[in-house]
Amino acid sequence: MDETYIKVQGILKDHFRAVETLQKDLDEWLNYFNNESPHQRKVCYGRTPVETLLGGKQVRVEKI
């Protein structure tokens, strides 16, 4: 029983380490996508998504 428990514990540690790595990589990609990568979609006009969002908020404030 102890040997099986140790094997399962090792597998779980590896799994969670892999999930943490995956989450770190995803967070880095999302940051790049939203803050550094310019987009050519109709609404963005070469701005990043964050710039587009903040620009839209500014226009709304100006119209109010």
Does the pTM surpass 0.85? The reply is no
pLDDT in tens, the chain (64 residues): 578 877 888 888 888 888 888 899 999 999 998 888 887 777 777 888 888 888 876 655 555 5
DSSP 41: S
With beta carbons less than 8 A apart as the criterion, state whether 34 and 51 touch: no
Check residue 27 and give its pLDDT. 93
Tokens describing residue 28: 């880095």
Residue with tokens 């995956």: 22
Domain count for the chain, please give it: 1
Q: How far, in Å, CA of 46 to CA of 39, rounded?
A: 5
Domain holding 42, by residue range, is: 2-63
Residue with tokens 């006009």: 45
